[in-house]
Structure 1
């Protein structure tokens, strides 16, 4: 009984959206007076995440003792060396043998009046601290209690039995690990020669399923967009294995990747009775079943094949397919199916790569999705406040000469090297890329690093491909002394250096797109690498907040969600990826976010022109231009500002060509009508319009067939409702008067109006009408996937406006009536639209009646007129019994920066308690608990 009384507090610590062991350790270290760790394993991936807390403890004079072990030889010698650099930490190693294992995972913190002890399953590795399924129990106990005395006694016993981790010990251990690694390599080589059994990852499965769906509806082309290193070649081989074409042509842009692609197919198709060969300058295997060739070779000899020779055509690096060389080949062959694959759809030389593949995107995997699916390695990002001597506050971010001049400071080089050495890197040899402001800056950095003993080179666009390849090979070579390549932008895209383990961001970030491209250079999986170290030196320039946009990973953001993400260390980022900013950098960025109005014309223009610059200076005339880039602005914001995207471009560009187009009121009105639907919450209407772009009429049966190309299932009543919506059945009188009629409903068919036909006959008008339709469908597929959401058609945690509920529940009265009230109904569906803060002032007036009780329960107050005795009152308080579905939509604030905020759908719930009259206060249990990160975002005050 006495022992139970000693435990003042206990809690379970797991790695989840709402927290992880790392966060608990960092907090405990910041509060303690001493600490004692006993963990079986410490590797550098985990230790790097604790370096700053250890440094802070050293600064404050807080001492610690750490015991780890040689059990299973898993502890890194490199991690031991790093711990020894801290003057405040004593380190010992428990040496194990075959008979005796060492499994402890205990973290003890001595506080002023008590002890905090965390005991459980986690070692000091990145996955144990952040993402693994781990159970750890945190206990706070009095300092004189029996439990803590037993723990400390056991720690002292292990300490006495452990060896001091001095220099000699670590050298011996390091040599032993190297000898062990050499022995294992031999075994690995033998194993590699055996037949592998490879199964598709989630991305590959999803892509092949979507490709099969598209083919089943008669589509003959498709595009797959996925980051470098995510397994696109394997995916194509899995699809080919499924389709079993008699003859296949695989075209690549560069010969060096051709043999790898061929080997992948040979590995996955070993028993298919297929011959596979190369068609290049050196190999002429034209008569094999599956021909792997370069565009340079096939473009010279494609006429030697029949047009229908190949059933299946694969274009790797499909962003090149718009070039005349590719077009000559692609226009000649008539395969049953053509697959394009690219990591960089933006590199299409002014052409729209989506059009080349009939706007069929089978899959798009961007950075955050690749991290979530573990298709790339995690990164550890450290945002470091630049030295005081660097002042960029009064410099235009495009004034490269001035920025270069201010960054060329010896003291800054020393600071960069100091931080680089402090945080370290994964693996033995440092292999780094440094991104600079200009060629002059890159040359300066390479020169200064060389002076300080870090062998470096500068590479830029003037260097030949041969020179680039030479230095890349040197950097990748473990035995070469080259440690760094400094560049400006040649590594933003397309260059693959798999073993890169360090990225230095040495210039002000002026674009989330460029930031993501540079970050992505180091994320490819590699046998010698578990994580990428990213050091970002954040100055006081006025666009530092763009870093937060890039790291947040969402194109669709608002000021408050960004601030919460910053405050919580971007908790929603998946896996072992770690984002940490020092206090000054964080406060600086938060202040900038607070000050910035993301909806102002000034901000939107800056976003647009920065994007235009990355579009090689060309005006991005199409909405589809924006989906080419990971990290691009959301063009719907431009539409919201000026009713259509072209009107926004017209306003900021003063462009005669666009102004002339917009003189046609019918064309402008049609663009407005279509653009007002974006972003789509239901795809049916746009799929129907897409069909009508090339056909005069559509019936329900054909509409269903077309819709099923995009989604798994659709209700026939919902298709009919879409027909009625397109026929303007649910518009009010003002809408009918002001909106063009594009289709007519007659005898169960939708028929194109003369107006739409006339517009589509004009090539220029057609291009922009098609663009809005394609963009709407593409974005819907990206955000909603193929899923069927039922009726009402709501996706959990998606954003909605009130009027959307009318459309998505097949409401058959005027839809504009769905506004102005917190409770709207359609039959047995009750829609609760709730503001958590009642006033426009986002700092004040929390709504204490309508609030989250926790992740499972929500308290809501009915409209003032609702009585328990009325039908409506009974439907709310006895909803489950009466078959009433309560749909909850919440938003934190009504307006941010003068713009109405959307609501977030948090699902259905049942009333479990009620009290009061006019209004009734009800407690609703959510069918699905709200995710912790969203709960934090909606409830946390910043």
Structure 2
């Protein structure tokens, strides 16, 4: 049947009851009028009204509206509602994605931006089918793990399935087959090749449903992490319909293969033989009951820069062009810092290179790296400097101590390009002796841990020139660390809900039971690891760790326990055993191994066996298993989530503490399986875990002083451990140096208005904090600085900092500082914005008196306040923090744009006013609509507070889809009015419409910022006073943001 899109919109299944009178409609294409009636009968009143307004629209617009509105806004369609009723899957509602539709044909491509991953589609299909058939050429544990939670549900509700796979190319993993055998509701067979040419490339998924609602997915994806989520895959999803027979033909073909003589049932004996063959690894001629194997070799030794290294090289060359003599590269351990430095040297083409490190082992490793990059250089050009009599070469490698002893005798211009490893030590006296004496054309600092500074400003030392900053999140996105799969497992063996206020001893009793040990082992058996087990298990305390070790040993595991009672030699020996592939040690039970700052690349399993008490510590422990290692495909993380009240910390940790933006964002992340994170990260929680976490989020006040103080105390604990300074107090730079620092938009928007005040509240004030708080004027100054953190209004905070440090600062001075620091040339409109920021600074009032003076004629901002050297040094830290965090979060190219607005960033109205160059009082931006210089700025609350907003202001604003937005003008605006005409004809008049959206006005007493979703274009208008306008967004809103806003 050929579809005529001008006349028909939807195709319905046979025997589906479409209206209250139980009228049956056969499988057919519905006309435009029938399509409208079809959705009117679904009892969605709001949509019914909207659909009536679309009667005069074209069929294409109507079809797009129906599809998008039902998937994005209603979050349920008749098919899903009926399935809930028929299959009793209402309690698993969190497992289905909101865009799932049964009557839909689509291409699935593992698109990260839209979250259109095959794994999500498979789970939707499996959870709503009556039975299923899967035929794939191979099954790997990395992909099967992602389906374990869904398969457990299918077993629980009795859904039967059949799977055909193969041992073609020996890619299927024996452990994955063993896992499938544990499911009594699933039958598994293997297609065995009889000759080398008898290949098996089939990849198809068939989902059977009653009432002709079956569906199929066919394309390129087997069952592996790459195929289901990260790889470039093309799969077509379609459904059973009268217009073709794809479903029937696939079902018949599957049944034929299922009965074929070449298709053999998988049992324990088969898996054992297959595993033995895989271990043996011999290549033999393929024949029935044998296993094909194929090996490929990497025929090139060429070393190419990874994404981090490419960015760093580009930024380095640009900063040299702009006159910088120094730069700093910050990159997580294992991401290739030494290779980066060699590649930078290769691009700069210096006459000679000096590489400085503090240990001889690091120098030897660096030499190997440089030889790999500079392959054409003779061996004699690479030397280690050992004393004043040793000749230098083109590539000289020196320990900091040996060089410091002789540096006074060296020509300051001796070296063209200097690299200093572990640059966080650079402010120490030994390093400074070298840095002060030598004057290379460029000095490059390398560090993975900027937090471990020796109480000095390494950012200022590097001219605030950060050429790259790659932390854990970016390293995962760039595939510089191993992917990880996190599974949140509801732990019903422990009940903390009925034990409020229990102490540590009671917690250990609840965690230390045979039932719980058996449950942990059962869940471990369901997941396939990347290689033989090499695990770390984090426990509540020493007693708990010892108990778990004893019980695992009784059950046949080869395990060990490590606590602070063990010596350094014992700890090192245990780590070496875990690293040794030949050693039988499988798992170490620990409490505080993360305190030692040790990474164990071989680790492929992390177990969290205790309630999460700190998001920061959780992330630190998770990170111990993320180092890459040959043959390590992914890290498996099993988190046994109890029903304690702090389970909300899990999503905070997984999404990143700095990214935490409040309850609705967290809840949306949990509901949607963290699809906004890197595609190299798979996070899945079973439905009970999701319900527990969502409940805990609702119950927690994230703006309370107690919550903030506890977060800061835990952060301080991590800072002390990582810096190995037991008495250290928090500085503003700690919030940049540590990737998992608390989100400052939360920390300083509640009770505590500055870092000194917060440090005092947790009884960890520094001497400088006491000094700042003692004088009312300095207390006020630091509160004003804190109001501008996180950094959006760069010019404003720099105006305050630079004038405080210099007594007086000119417009030219600030422009030159920004241009040099950020390696950018500012245009005239940027210069005008700097002037406006300086004028705003001059209007700041302390006790109703102006503090600073603006000299209009000379364009100089003057500061009458005399600050002592201690406070000036503190301001230096704030300046380093501002520069570093701005470069990390904001594209500096925006500084030259008319509107310094970045898509999908969050802004307050005042921030928007400043960033677009508003030249009057910023606080005048209070309303939902603002016009300035030919631009219209629309600020929308999707959820109106009906108790506090007058009825005439309850505008009907909502997303029709990711591309269309329905907005109502102010009540006094008609289509014929000047304002109405400006909206309708904004393109003709060359006016821009900017849309800012937030879900609601406040949350936990905090005013929420708006998402900037970009410029919009006029589509249509209806009515007057107010006008109902449909805007089309120039860029579709990413799925994760839409999910959050519509949650």
TM-score, with length taken from structure 1: 0.90
Residue 839 (structure 1) shift: 0.9
Q: Does the aligned pair in 1 maintain the 2:658–2:741 contact within 8 Å? A: yes
Greater mean alpha carbon deviation, residues 364-373 or residues 281-290: 281-290
Counterparts in 2 of 1:269 and 1:832: CA distance versus 1, 3 Å: same
Corresponding residue to 1:196 among 293, 298, 301: 301
Tell me, in whole angstroms, the C-alpha distance in 2 between the residues paired with 1:747 and 1:144: 79
Q: Does the aligned pair in 2 maintain the 1:32–1:110 contact within 8 Å? A: yes
Deviation track 1:266-317 (CA, whole Å, cap 9, x = no partner) reads 1112235685545489999763332334456556665675555434333333
Counterparts in 2 of 1:453 and 1:836: CA distance versus 1, 3 Å: same
Residue 908 (structure 1) shift: 0.5
**Are 1:633 and 2:742 an aligned pair?**
yes
Deviation track 1:509-555 (CA, whole Å, cap 9, x = no partner) reads 22222211211111122221111100112223332211110111251
Counterparts in 2 of 1:121 and 1:196: CA distance versus 1, 3 Å: same
Q: Does the aligned pair in 2 maintain the 1:434–1:486 contact within 8 Å? A: yes
User: Unpaired segments of 5 or more residues in structure 1?
Assistant: none
- Structure 2 matches for 1:377-396, cutoff 5 A? 377-389=482-494, 391=496
Residue 206 of structure 1 corresponds to: 311
Greater mean alpha carbon deviation, residues 788-797 or residues 71-80: 71-80
- Structure 2 matches for 1:318-337, cutoff 5 A? 318-321=423-426, 326=431, 330=435, 333-337=438-442
Q: Secondary structure at the match of 1:633?
A: coil
Tell me, in whole angstroms, the C-alpha distance in 2 between the residues paired with 1:891 and 1:284: 68
Tell me, in whole angstroms, the C-alpha distance in 2 between the residues paired with 1:844 and 1:318: 59
How many residue pairs get aligned? The number is 928
Residue 203 of structure 2 corresponds to: 105
Residue 386 (structure 1) shift: 2.7
Greater mean alpha carbon deviation, residues 131-140 or residues 860-869: 131-140
Q: Does the aligned pair in 2 maintain the 1:888–1:908 contact within 8 Å? A: yes
Tell me, in whole angstroms, the C-alpha distance in 1 between the residues paired with 2:950 and 2:473: 34
Q: Secondary structure at the match of 1:587?
A: helix
Q: Does the aligned pair in 1 maintain the 2:899–2:917 contact within 8 Å? A: yes
Q: Secondary structure at the match of 2:369?
A: helix
Residue 169 of structure 1 corresponds to: 270
Tell me, in whole angstroms, the C-alpha distance in 2 between the residues paired with 1:844 and 1:278: 78
Counterparts in 2 of 1:812 and 1:640: CA distance versus 1, 3 Å: same
Tell me, in whole angstroms, the C-alpha distance in 2 between the residues paired with 1:252 and 1:340: 11
Counterparts in 2 of 1:167 and 1:636: CA distance versus 1, 3 Å: closer
Residue 149 of structure 1 corresponds to: 248
Greater mean alpha carbon deviation, residues 148-157 or residues 293-302: 293-302
Q: Secondary structure at the match of 2:840?
A: coil
**Are 1:596 and 2:700 an aligned pair?**
yes
Q: Does the aligned pair in 1 maintain the 2:319–2:823 contact within 8 Å? A: no
Residue 90 of structure 1 corresponds to: 187
**Are 1:231 and 2:328 an aligned pair?**
no
Residue 772 of structure 1 corresponds to: 878
Residue 857 of structure 1 corresponds to: 964
Residue 52 of structure 2 corresponds to: none
Tell me, in whole angstroms, the C-alpha distance in 1 between the residues paired with 2:470 and 2:430: 28
Residue 935 of structure 2 corresponds to: 829
Counterparts in 2 of 1:250 and 1:439: CA distance versus 1, 3 Å: farther
- Structure 2 matches for 1:421-436, cutoff 5 A? 421-427=525-531, 429-436=532-539
Corresponding residue to 1:415 among 507, 513, 519: 519
Q: Does the aligned pair in 1 maintain the 2:169–2:294 contact within 8 Å? A: no
Tell me, in whole angstroms, the C-alpha distance in 1 between the residues paired with 2:748 and 2:258: 66
Counterparts in 2 of 1:639 and 1:255: CA distance versus 1, 3 Å: same
Residue 330 (structure 1) shift: 4.7
Tell me, in whole angstroms, the C-alpha distance in 2 between the residues paired with 1:440 and 1:843: 56
Greater mean alpha carbon deviation, residues 325-334 or residues 18-27: 325-334
Q: Secondary structure at the match of 1:537?
A: strand
Residue 613 of structure 1 corresponds to: 717
- Structure 2 matches for 1:236-251, cutoff 5 A? 236-251=341-356
Tell me, in whole angstroms, the C-alpha distance in 2 between the residues paired with 1:843 and 1:38: 57
Greater mean alpha carbon deviation, residues 858-867 or residues 343-352: 343-352
Tell me, in whole angstroms, the C-alpha distance in 1 between the residues paired with 2:135 and 2:296: 37
Q: Secondary structure at the match of 1:35?
A: strand
Residue 705 (structure 1) shift: 6.1
Q: Does the aligned pair in 1 maintain the 2:616–2:714 contact within 8 Å? A: no
Corresponding residue to 1:666 among 777, 781, 784: 777
Counterparts in 2 of 1:899 and 1:688: CA distance versus 1, 3 Å: closer
Q: Does the aligned pair in 2 maintain the 1:302–1:329 contact within 8 Å? A: yes
Q: Does the aligned pair in 2 maintain the 1:689–1:773 contact within 8 Å? A: no
Q: Does the aligned pair in 2 maintain the 1:6–1:146 contact within 8 Å? A: no
Tell me, in whole angstroms, the C-alpha distance in 2 between the residues paired with 1:323 and 1:634: 30
Q: Secondary structure at the match of 1:381?
A: strand
Tell me, in whole angstroms, the C-alpha distance in 2 between the residues paired with 1:315 and 1:515: 32
Tell me, in whole angstroms, the C-alpha distance in 2 between the residues paired with 1:866 and 1:509: 53
Residue 130 of structure 1 corresponds to: 229
Counterparts in 2 of 1:310 and 1:508: CA distance versus 1, 3 Å: farther
**Are 1:376 and 2:485 an aligned pair?**
no
Tell me, in whole angstroms, the C-alpha distance in 2 between the residues paired with 1:262 and 1:159: 58
Q: Secondary structure at the match of 1:22?
A: helix
Corresponding residue to 2:608 among 502, 505, 516: 505
Q: Secondary structure at the match of 1:362?
A: strand
Q: Does the aligned pair in 2 maintain the 1:69–1:75 contact within 8 Å? A: yes
Tell me, in whole angstroms, the C-alpha distance in 1 between the residues paired with 2:1011 and 2:976: 31
Counterparts in 2 of 1:457 and 1:488: CA distance versus 1, 3 Å: same
**Are 1:622 and 2:731 an aligned pair?**
yes
Residue 56 of structure 1 corresponds to: 153
Residue 219 (structure 1) shift: 3.8
Q: Secondary structure at the match of 2:240?
A: strand
- Structure 2 matches for 1:868-907, cutoff 5 A? 868-907=975-1014
Counterparts in 2 of 1:100 and 1:842: CA distance versus 1, 3 Å: farther
Corresponding residue to 2:654 among 518, 526, 551: 551
Tell me, in whole angstroms, the C-alpha distance in 1 between the residues paired with 2:893 and 2:846: 33
Residue 818 of structure 2 corresponds to: 706
Q: Secondary structure at the match of 2:1025?
A: coil
Residue 136 of structure 2 corresponds to: 39
Tell me, in whole angstroms, the C-alpha distance in 1 between the residues paired with 2:853 and 2:630: 58
Tell me, in whole angstroms, the C-alpha distance in 2 between the residues paired with 1:596 and 1:844: 30
CA RMSD of superposed structures (Å): 3.5
Residue 833 (structure 1) shift: 0.7
Tell me, in whole angstroms, the C-alpha distance in 2 between the residues paired with 1:486 and 1:581: 23
TM-score, with length taken from structure 2: 0.82
Tell me, in whole angstroms, the C-alpha distance in 2 between the residues paired with 1:919 and 1:144: 45
- Structure 2 matches for 1:561-580, cutoff 5 A? 561-580=665-684
Tell me, in whole angstroms, the C-alpha distance in 2 between the residues paired with 1:33 and 1:268: 58
Residue 225 (structure 1) shift: 2.2
Tell me, in whole angstroms, the C-alpha distance in 1 between the residues paired with 2:465 and 2:499: 46
Counterparts in 2 of 1:474 and 1:847: CA distance versus 1, 3 Å: farther
Q: Does the aligned pair in 2 maintain the 1:835–1:892 contact within 8 Å? A: yes
Q: Does the aligned pair in 2 maintain the 1:723–1:745 contact within 8 Å? A: no
Deviation track 1:800-821 (CA, whole Å, cap 9, x = no partner) reads 11122221121222222121x1
Residue 475 of structure 1 corresponds to: 578
Q: Secondary structure at the match of 1:24?
A: helix
User: Unpaired segments of 5 or more residues in structure 2?
Assistant: 4-10, 12-26, 30-101, 285-292, 721-725
- Structure 2 matches for 1:8-87, cutoff 5 A? 9-12=103-106, 13-16=108-111, 17-87=114-184
Q: Does the aligned pair in 1 maintain the 2:545–2:561 contact within 8 Å? A: yes
Deviation track 1:630-682 (CA, whole Å, cap 9, x = no partner) reads 22112343333343322333344385943443232332332233322222224
Q: Does the aligned pair in 2 maintain the 1:381–1:579 contact within 8 Å? A: yes
Tell me, in whole angstroms, the C-alpha distance in 2 between the residues paired with 1:31 and 1:467: 53
**Are 1:448 and 2:551 an aligned pair?**
yes
Residue 315 of structure 1 corresponds to: 420
Tell me, in whole angstroms, the C-alpha distance in 1 between the residues paired with 2:558 and 2:130: 42
Residue 484 of structure 1 corresponds to: 587
Residue 847 (structure 1) shift: 5.8
Residue 973 of structure 2 corresponds to: 866
Q: Does the aligned pair in 2 maintain the 1:224–1:363 contact within 8 Å? A: yes
